[in-house]
Amino acid sequence: MTRRARRRPTRGRDARGQNGRGRPVGAWLPDPVVVLRDGEWVVRPVTGAATAKVYRCPGCDHEINPGTAHLVVWPPERVEDRRHWHRPCWDRRCRAARLRSEGPG
């Protein structure tokens, strides 16, 4: 009797279709929330490949050009108030006003 060859899992996944962290591949994860003195802020990183428009950073008042990785920040429940920040500008703001961070752990 011949034996069947065992199929290898797809690259980057184990046999159960999960990534290396034990989460199902493609699982939705909540955006981290940063709590500052002036309230809570949802923070989402954006890759340079995903940007096609010019935005203005409220931290430095300079443009964020297409192809530049940056952060999109907004108050929870108010997505229409989202703003695009350079990462160093947002980090500087957080250092000045940080209380604590919450996010996926």
Specify the number of domains making up the chain: 1
What is the predicted pLDDT for the residue at 66? Answer: 94
**Confidence tier at 95 by pLDDT (50, 70, 90):** confident
What is the pLDDT, as a whole number, of residue 48?
A: 86
Q: Give Cα separations from 38 to 5, 72, 75, 94 (angstroms).
A: 60, 17, 10, 11
What does the pLDDT read at residue 104?
Answer: 46
53 is in which domain, residue-wise?
33-102
Asked if residue 14 is part of any domain, the answer here is: no
Q: Is residue 10 part of a domain?
A: no
Whole-number Cα distances in Å, 60 to 31, 38, 64: 24, 19, 10
Strands laid side by side in the 39-46 sheet: 83-85, 70-74, 39-46, 33-36, 98-102
Integer Cα distance of 87 and 93 in angstroms: 10
**Which amino acid is present at 35?**
V
**In what helix (H) or strand (E) does residue 10 lie, and over which residues does it extend?**
none
Q: Residue 23 domain-assigned?
A: no
CA–CA dist 77, 29 (Å, integer): 17
Give the tens place of pLDDT for each residue, 21-67: 555 555 567 778 888 888 899 999 999 888 889 999 999 999 999 99
Q: What is the pLDDT of residues 57-91, one digit of tens each?
A: 999 999 999 999 999 999 998 888 899 999 999 99
